[in-house]
Amino acid sequence: MLEITNKMNVSSWFTFNEVNSVRASGSKVVCCHFSSDGELLASGGHDKKAVLWYTDTLTQKETLEEHASLITDVRFSPSMARLSTSSFDKTVRVWDADNGYSIRTFTGHSAGVLSLDFHPNKEDLICSCDGDDKIRYWNINNGSCTRVFKGGMAQVRFQPHIGRYLAAATENVVSILDVETQACRHSLKGHTKPVHYVCWDPTGERLASVSEDSIRVWTLRSGSEGDCLHELSSNGNEFYSCVFHPTYPSLLVIGCYQASHSLELWNMNENKTMTLTAHDGLVASLAVSTVTGLVASASHDKFIKLWK
C-alpha cells in the first residue's frame, strides 16, 4: 500500500492501490481507455485485437478483430457508444461499442497510424496521425477525409469539453492546433528528447507532455496560455505515459519503463514523487475515469491493471 499526503488538496491520508488486474493478451498491450460512463475499458496492442472489458469485473465483453497489424490507440467517443482504433495497417476503424461491429474503416494514411481521438462535442469528427507526421480529420457519418495537414506523429488529443484545440506531438515539440483553422496557436518547446505521450486534465486548461527524461505541465488557461507550470526531470527512471489523478488535480500518475516498470505519483505543487511497483514491462498507456475514480495501466507485460 502506498500512502501519500498532499497538503494542497487533501486534508487526510489517502491510498493508491492495485484493485484488479487481468492478463489482457498473449502479447504486448500498448493502449487503454475508459468509456465516458466508466463501465467499460478498452485495450489493444500487438495481437491486432481490441478488447472491451467490463470495468467492475475485468471480464471480457467483446473482442474486435479486423485489423491486419498491431493496434496503436483505442478511444471511446465521449457522447456515443462508439470505439475507435488505429493501427500499423494504416487504417482507422470505428466500432459500435454496444454490439461489437465495425461502423467505418478509414483508409488514406501513407504510414502506420499511431494515434487517434474523438472530438468532444462534434460527434462525427475524429482525427488521427501517422508516422509521416500527417494528421487527418475524418467524418464518421459520410466516411470522408475532411482535412489533411502536417504536424502530428506520436500522439493527438483533443482538448476535453471545449474542443477548441488539438494537442499533437512530433519529435520534441507539442503543437497546440486550432481545430477549426489548423493554425498552430502554440508550439510547446522544452523537451530535449521525443515526446511519447500527451494528456489533458479534465478541465482542458492543463496539458502534460512526457519524454524519456522529463515531464512538463503546460497551461492553456487564457492569459497564460503556453506557459510551463511544472517540470519533473527523471532521476534515472525513464518516463513513458501519464494521466492526471481523477480526484486530486495536483497529482500526476506516471508510467515508466526500463528497469522499474513502475508507476510514479508526482505531487506537482510540492514537487515530490513516490514510486509504486506496478508491472513487469513498459507501462505503455494510462487511462482515468472521473466517474469511478479508477486509473488503468496497460503494459508490455501483457497485463492491464486497475488502481484506486
Identify the CATH number of the domain in which residue 141 sits: 2.130.10.10
For the beta sheet containing 59-64, the strands, ordered from the edge strand earlier in sequence to the opposite edge, are: 29-34, 40-45, 50-54, 59-64
* Under 8 Å between Cβ of 244 and 199: yes
- Expressed in angstroms, the distance from the first to the final Cα of the chain is 11
pTM, rounded to two decimals? 0.95
The string over 139-153, giving b where at least 16 C-beta atoms fall within 10 Å of a residue's C-beta and e elsewhere, is bbeeeeeeeeeebbb
The pLDDT score that the predictor gives to residue 236 is 79
* Under 8 Å between Cβ of 201 and 195: no
Average pLDDT estimate for 178-203: 96
pLDDT per position as a tens digit, 17-70: 999 999 999 999 999 999 999 999 999 999 999 999 999 999 999 999 999 999
- Please state the domain count of the chain: 1
Q: Which domain holds residue 32?
A: 2-307
pLDDT per position as a tens digit, 243-276: 999 999 999 999 998 767 899 999 999 999 999 9
The pLDDT score that the predictor gives to residue 6 is 37
Distance, in Å, from the CA atom of 111 to the CA atom of 17, rounded to the nearest integer, reads: 39
* Under 8 Å between Cβ of 289 and 270: no
* Under 8 Å between Cβ of 263 and 283: yes
Distance, in Å, from the CA atom of 173 to the CA atom of 186, rounded to the nearest integer, reads: 10
